[in-house]
Structure 1
Amino acid sequence: MPAVTADTLTLPRVRSVPEQGTRWREATKVITARKSLEGEGFEVRRPFPGMDLSLADPFLLLDHLGAVEYAPGEAKGAPWHPHRGFETVTYILDGAFEHTDSTGGGGLITDGATQWMTAGSGVMHSELPPEHFVATGGLFHGVQLWVNLPRASKWAPPRYQDIGSGDVTLLASDDGGALLRVIAGEVDGHRGPGVTWTPISYSHATVAPGARLALPWPAEFNALVYVLSGRGTVGTHARPLEEGQLVVLGAGEALTLRAADSQPQASRQGWEVLIMGGLPLREPVARYGPFVMNTKSEILEAVDDFNSGRLIRTSPEHVVDDLPHRTDADVGLGLGEQGA
């Protein structure tokens, strides 16, 4: 895993959280990600949606891509498609994606880099493996997170952020046993580079076998932990958590994780987890495929704008004739509203 690494002994450390008197967040729900096909037919593991969306608010979707070893000619991506009303955050640990969007944003996302696209009022974009990666094949591993935009920001102009692997904020746990890469938001006062409309915290941690990671956490945020690889436990009650599982944590002011002493061969460097949370928007969610708004009428407007070419000005080669295929993420939501 070539995502950015560092000697934890040389990094700033997260302050120690007192064992006594701390309201620790405990596991309230564990979800095993469902498998689904996306884009040109690549497999993802998706822990949400599929659970009560209010538990993830302000997040909408999490797709875990890989880890998969592609043979030459096998790598696939997601060709041109529209979005409106939210942000896509694509974090690549291994392999590469080329992002292109109709605002002129784009670039290569690889080895610990993040592409943060605010769709806002509307954008067309594509995410495809570069030609050299398709030709040679290789290991691919990444994550895409959808972050909802508050009602007041859904019509913001599209925006693109290119966050290189060297831009993330690196921290160590209080004893140096865990490496934390802060992509957006704050962890114990240390801010990541991602600029967000919605207050969130989003980090990738590597916890050495047998090591513990304890973090202070804003009481007003929710807290979710997703396992990219390896195994460990969450909370003072040591709830087990393995690859492809997500845990929803309850109320409190700090969270604690511990990596298992023995890790699978693929996780010999440690337990790999995403730690995320945010300030719930508690606004109605109306969703249809690539559009996430507040009301059914706004969804119908987005579909009409897309079909009539008003969603975003694009060059002819970017035009798509039909609304993209409905995904598993849309089942049960359709054109209705879901209270968050």
Structure 2
Amino acid sequence: MPAVTADTLTLPRLPRLPEDGTRWRKVARVITAQRHLEGEGFAVRRPFPGVDLSLADPFLLLDHMGAVEYAPGEAKGTPWHPHRGFETVTYIMDGAFQHRDTHGGGGLITDGDTQWMTAGSGLQHIEQPPPELVAAGGLFHGVQLWVNLPRAQKWTPPRYQDIRGGDVTLLAGDDGSSLVRVIAGSLAGHEGPGVTHTPITLLHATVAPGARLTLPWPREFSAMVYVLSGDGHIGQDDRPLAEGRLGLYGPGGDALSMRAADRQPVASRQGWEILVLGGLPIREPVARYGPFVMNNRQEIVQAFEDFQAGRMGVVPAETVPHRTAADEAL
């Protein structure tokens, strides 16, 4: 898992948080991701939806893709499909993925890059492994996160952000043993490159075996940790958290505590690999069906009508499939 690496001894360090006097968040729940097939038939592990959305708010979905070693011809993606009412964030740690949309956004992301697509008022896009990966096979590992938009911003014009791995903000834990990549939001005054409509913080951390990582965290934000690989513990009570599991912190408190296990699996010898994420809860009604997330059923019906009427962009003629993912949802 190369993503982006650096010598932590040369990086700015997070502040040391005192044990006494710090209001530590308590762990509310631990969720095991469920396996699903997506797109053209690739497997994902999905910790949510499936939990109370009030705990995940403002996030809607998290898909963990891989890590998987594809044989030649095995790599798959998605067909053209529409979205409205939220943002998709795709972060690739190994391998490559390419994106194209009907608003003009697109590009190839690989090894630590992020593509941030604001669907907003609506568009269509396609996500595929590049031909080289399909032909030769190889290692692939990434995640996709869906971020909700509040009612007032669901009709914002679509936007695409191409965030290179070298653009993320790199920090070290307070003892210099952990590497923290800030993709979006703010951590201890350090800003990530991702521009968000909904206030969130998104981090990828590599915590050295046996090391403890503590993070200041906005009291009003939700907070969760998802394990990409390796073993560790979260919270002051050391709740175990292994690969494919999501730990949700409860409300209150302004700091998070987590610790990597002393012994890690062979595949995680560099450390415990985790996503840390949270945001300002939107606390609005959520109506979701297939590729659309709005506030009520009438808006969902309108989204399907707008898509079928061609108001979410036109797929290039040379790539028009017989049926799209949205057609299958009807």
Task: Give the TM-score normalised by structure 2.
Answer: 0.97
For the residues of structure 1 that align with 2:144 and 2:31, how far apart are their CA atoms? 17
CA distances 1:268-313 after superposition (whole Å, capped 9, x unpaired): 0000000000000000100011000011110000001111212224
Q: Output the amino acid matched with 1:222.
A: S
What residue number does 1:77 align with? 77
Quote how far apart the aligned CAs of 1:128 are.
0.3
Residue-by-residue CA offset, 1:14-47 (whole Å, 9 max, x unaligned): 1111110111112110000000000000000000
Is 1:138 the counterpart of 2:138 in the alignment?
yes
Match of 2:279 in 1: 278
Contact 1:61 1:146 in 2 (8 A): yes
Distance, in Å, in 2 between the alignment partners of 1:54 and 1:228 is: 23
Tell me the equivalent position of 1:297: 298
Distance (Å, rounded) in 2 between the aligned partners of 1:10 and 1:70: 36
Equivalenced residues, count: 327
Matching residue of 1:167: 167
Deviation at 1:232, TM superposition (A): 0.5
Determine the C-alpha separation between the residues in 2 that align with 1:211 and 1:325.
47
Paired residues of 1:289 and 1:325 also in contact (CA < 8 A) = no
Does the 8 Å CA contact 1:289/1:324 hold for their aligned counterparts?
no
Change (3 A) 1:171 1:324: farther
Alpha-carbon distance between aligned partners in 1 of 2:222 and 2:74, rounded to the nearest angstrom: 38
- Give the whole-Å Cα distance in 1 for the aligned partners of 2:313 and 2:12: 43
Q: Paired residue for 2:12?
A: 12
The answer as to 2:39 corresponding to 1:39 is yes
1:231 equivalent in alignment to 2:249: no
Q: Is the 8 A contact 1:97 1:110 kept in 2?
A: yes
Partners of 1:286 and 1:295 within 8 A in 2? yes
Q: Which amino acid aligns with 2:165?
A: S
Is 2:98–2:127's contact at 8 Å kept on the other side of the alignment?
yes
In structure 2, C-alpha distance between the alignment counterparts of 1:117 and 1:228, rounded to whole Å: 22
In the other structure, the counterpart of 1:252 is: 253
- The SS at the match of 1:205 is strand
* Counterpart AA for 2:216: P
| Equivalent residue, structure 2, for 1:331 | none
Q: Cα RMSD over matched residues? A: 1.2
**1:133/1:187 Cα in 2 relative to 1: closer, same or farther (>3 Å)?**
same
Alpha-carbon shift at residue 147 of structure 1 (Å): 0.2
Other-structure match for 1:337: none
Is 2:209 the counterpart of 1:209?
Answer: yes
Unmatched segments (≥5 aa) in structure 1? 327-333, 335-340
After superposition, the C-alpha distances for 1:52-101 in whole angstroms (9 at most, x for unaligned) are 11110000000000000000110000121100000000000000001111
Q: Please state if 1:263 is matched with 2:277.
A: no
CA, structure 1 residues 226+28, in 2 after alignment: closer, same or farther (shift >3 Å)?
same
Is this contact kept in 1: 2:26–2:235, CA < 8 A? yes
Q: Which runs of 4+ in 1 moved over 2 A?
A: 311-326
How far off is 1:324 after superposition?
4.4
1:29-108 matched pairs, under 5 angstroms:
29-108=29-108
**Letter of the 2:278 counterpart:** G
Match of 1:112 in 2: 112
In the superposition, the TM-score normalised over structure 1's length comes to 0.94
Q: Could you tell me which residue of structure 2 aligns to residue 241 of structure 1?
A: 241
- Give the 3-state SS of the residue equivalent to 2:303 in structure 1: helix
Match of 2:23 in 1: 23
1:281 maps to a residue whose letter is I
Paired letter, 1:9: L
Amino acid at match of 1:72: P
The aligned runs of 1:284-323 (5 Å cut-off) are: 284-317=285-318, 319=320, 321=323, 323=326
Matched residue of 2:134: which SS? helix
Determine if contact 2:80/2:315 at 8 Å carries over to the other structure. no
Q: Which amino acid aligns with 2:241?
A: L
Structure-1 separation of matches of 2:319 and 2:202: 31
